[in-house]
Structure 1
Amino acid sequence: MCRHIAYVGPEESLGRLLVDPPHGLYGQSWAPRCQRYGTVNADGFGVGWYAPGDPVPARYRRAGPIWGDPSFADLARAVRTTALLAAVRDATLPGADGEAAAAPFAAGEWLFSHNGAVRGWPGTLAPIVMTLPPEDVLSLEARSDSAFVWALVLARLRAGNDEGQALAGTVLEVAAAAPRSRLNLMLAQGDTIAATAWGDSLWYLARPGGGNVVASEPYDDDPHWREVPDRTLLTASRTDVLLTPLKPGLGPGPRPGSG
């Protein structure tokens, strides 16, 4: 399992969002409060953020625990952003991919994270592998279930699906092939966030100073945090949050190339 968080809103330092809160992502790496599977998220971490005027995000990722990287604290103090996606990782299975397996994954303007696990990986998704272009499979950044789920999402995005459709279609496809999978996905595009609640906790907060936070669990005890119902797609901008039940027919249909 993992913990992840996304933010869009007025400019903030990475530290104000990830390190300073009493139960922020930094602390969730060893003491999550809402995590249902696993206890310590020490198998890597990463943060992706958007600089003003640049639609392509920067990333900082490492294979070890976030608390074991002194450079991150300095980075978090100094770097400011209007949008980010960050995660701490608890690997589904042991692997040698190192920081390549740490979210956020990225392509162009998108950042992506998966909190969960694909049931029966990799066997349950073997038939879906055959539906992707060979170059997409061979260019996977890591060999984890999360990296493959990202390949499915990215194929939809490149075919013209919007962010919500890409996540919804992927969740429904993977859940059909691998029932009882946990598929909390998160996708950022600089001005928007899309996320799914499917098998684990997801919360959101409209910040008093403006902007929205979407996270696996609340980073403080603000009473305005709201839990997203299971089997739900969330889409958010700086000012709005929309919740839509995830059910067959929500997405645009089969993924391009899958039929």
Structure 2
Amino acid sequence: MCRWLAYTGNPLQLETVLFNARHSLIDQSLHSRLGYTTTNGDGFGIGWYGEPTDIPFRYRCIQPAWSDRNLREAARAIRAPLFVAHVRSATDTPSQETNCHPFRHGRWLFAHNGLIRNYPAVRRDLMVMIDPDLFPSIEGSTDSEVMFFLALTFGLELAPVTALERMVAFVEETGRKHGVDEPLNMTVCVTDGEQIVAVRYSSEGQSRSLFHSTSFHHLHELYPDDPRIAAAGENAFLVLSEPLADLPGWWEEIPESTVVVARGGQIEQYPFRPQSA
């Protein structure tokens, strides 16, 4: 369906993970190994934090990521301490720029892989719950953007994990009212430029793939001559749909129904339990 990654650490050139890695995100857009779809060519987006830091920068495009020459130039030019990148495979909604991830509101970025099942049937009930003050900021028509604004409605800016748990519970309750047995499948990432919160969850317990990097300090010891690891620093962290390279000890799969929070070099992992607001 989609492939995405998020990075935090020393300022890193975006092309390091978007183009230069053996199984880079651009390679995944053409040849996904673990995705529901092999090709993810219905647009792409990158979001990154720099100066000023209050609102992240963003570049989205409807073209396939592998054919956009401007993306290659931008990825070569941009160095950032935190960024999110996404390649899209559309489901129930059209290929258009406003449907490309990551979505943005204030300091926050949101990216999603998966779907709300039978979304056209439940869309109205979901959108009615969104805070009226937030509603004018919705630009596109995807289930992903609705999930983001529901999470904002449920307090994402104050308590991200709790807000995501409440969002998921509401989506599942709404779907089941409409006769959908397994309403939601998702891996999601939200960030405010200081922390990355990533969740792997699905109603059926068979979520899309999601991995995170192991300790970069440990990786320095395993691969002391790898310049990519040295550039990232010992506190770097990557969470992503598919590993970028086949290096033993580099990646750890995130279990089902799990949330990972990365902030300031600290990585915490908790069970993810949807709860009604």
CA distance in 1, matches of 2:80, 2:194: 11
**Structure 1 counterpart of 2:251, one-letter code:** W
User: Following the alignment from structure 1 to structure 2, what is the Cα–Cα distance between the partners of residues 242 and 94?
Assistant: 34
Gapped runs of 5+ residues in structure 2? 176-181, 202-206, 220-232
TM-score between the two structures when normalised by the length of structure 1: 0.89
2: CA distance between counterparts of 1:135 and 1:14?
34
Residue 190 (structure 1) shift? 1.1
Aligned residue in 1 for 2:189: 186
Q: Which residue number in structure 2 is paired with residue 77 of structure 1?
A: 76
Structure 1 segment 1-259 matched on structure 2, within 5 A: 1-35=1-35, 37-95=36-94, 98-134=96-132, 136-157=134-155, 161-178=158-175, 179-198=182-201, 199-205=207-213, 206-207=215-216, 208=219, 209-210=233-234, 211-223=236-248, 224-249=250-275, 253-254=276-277
Q: Runs of 4+ in structure 1 displaced over 6 angstroms? A: none
Q: SS at the partner of 1:72?
A: helix
Aligned mates of 2:10, 2:80 — CA distance in 1: 8
Residue 228 of structure 2 corresponds to: none
Which amino acid in 1 is paired with 2:2? C
Separation in structure 2 between the aligned mates of residue 216 and residue 39 of structure 1, nearest angstrom: 13
Name the CA distance, whole Å, in 2 between partners of 1:34 and 1:240. Answer: 28
- Listed as ranges, the gaps of 5+ residues in structure 1 are 255-259
TM-score w.r.t. length of structure 2: 0.84
State the alpha-carbon separation in 1 of the partners of residues 274 and 11 from structure 2: 37
Are the aligned partners of 1:125 and 1:174 in contact in 2 as well (CA < 8 Å)? Answer: no
Cα RMSD over matched residues? 1.8
- Rounded to whole Å, the distance in 2 between the matches of 1:60 and 1:77 is 14
CA distance in 2, matches of 1:231, 1:138: 32
Q: In the aligned structure 1, how far is the partner of 2:20 from the partner of 2:73?
A: 13
Change (3 A) 1:243 1:176: farther
- Once residues 247 and 210 of structure 2 are traced to their aligned partners in structure 1, the CA distance between those partners, rounded to angstroms, is 15
Amino acid of the structure 2 residue aligned with 1:13: Q
Specify the SS of the correspondent of 1:56. coil
Structure possessing the higher radius of gyration over alpha carbons: 2
* SS of corresponding position for 1:76: helix
Partner SS for 2:265: coil
Deviation of the 1:40 alpha carbon: 1.0
Task: Read off the aligned partner of 1:172 and give its amino acid letter.
Answer: A
The residue type equivalent to 1:177 in the other structure is: T
Answer yes or no: is the 8 Å Cα contact 1:212–1:237 preserved in 2: no
More helix by share: 2
Q: State the 1:19 CA deviation.
A: 1.3
CA shift for structure 1 position 125:
4.2
In structure 2, the CA distance between the partners of 1:123 and 1:200, relative to structure 1 (3 Å rule), is same
User: What's the CA shift for 1:53?
Assistant: 5.0
The alpha carbon displacement at 1:132 in A equals: 2.3
Indicate if the aligned counterparts of 2:92 and 2:119 stay in contact, CA closer than 8 A: no
Q: For 1:143-190, what per-residue CA distance to the aligned partner results, in whole angstroms no more than 9, with x for missing partners?
A: 1111111111222336x5322222222123223333242121110111
Structure 2 counterpart SS, 1:196: strand
Aligned amino acid, residue 80 of structure 1: R
Identity %: 33
